[in-house]
Homo-oligomer: A and B are copies of this chain.
Amino acid sequence: MRERKKQYFHPIEVTLDVVCGKWKGVILCLLQEKDYRFGELKDQLYSVTPKVLTQQLRELEEDGLIKRTVYAQVPPKVVYSLTPYGKDLEGTLRMMEKWGQAHQEKVGVNFNEEVSEAELS
């Protein structure tokens, strides 16, 4: 578990504290559907650097939301999956997703739906 030094005044702070990292929300959403290898996650979040991705994953792991499985082989293979505990967040994540979608449509937030051809090569 991640060492939490701070004192909370409201339960929602706990959830936000666990979910509010630059990439944590998306990572958790992705993992709801299937397990991912490190490199696969990196591709999905394509602008993330390995260092930061590792950070985010470690914190999620320390908070008990995801599990890291290492396959002893060369080249290495590491798979990230949700713990049962992490799966409990699914309903919440879906609602946040839905609200975000509504907000997006309302406000006209820009999404990157496609990566440019140059970046795909």
Interface residues of A, CB < 8 Å — how many?
Answer: 42
| A93 proximity list for chain B (CB < 8 A) | 12
CB of B99 within 8 A of CB of A89, answer yes
From B15, B29, B101, give the contact of A97 (CB < 8 A).
B15
CB distance from A43 to the nearest CB of B (A): 12
CB of A14 within 8 A of CB of B64, answer no
CB of B109 within 8 A of CB of A9, answer no
A7-51 contacts to B, CB under 8 A, are 7-16, 18-20, 25-26, 29, 45
Main secondary structure of the interface of A (DSSP, over half): helix
Q: Say yes or no: A111-B20 contact (C-beta < 8 A), given A99-B88, A102-B88.
A: no
CB of A18 within 8 A of CB of B103, answer yes
CB of A4 within 8 A of CB of B109, answer yes
Counting from the closest, the 5 A-B pairs by CB-CB distance are A14-B100, A11-B100, A15-B100, A20-B20, A15-B96
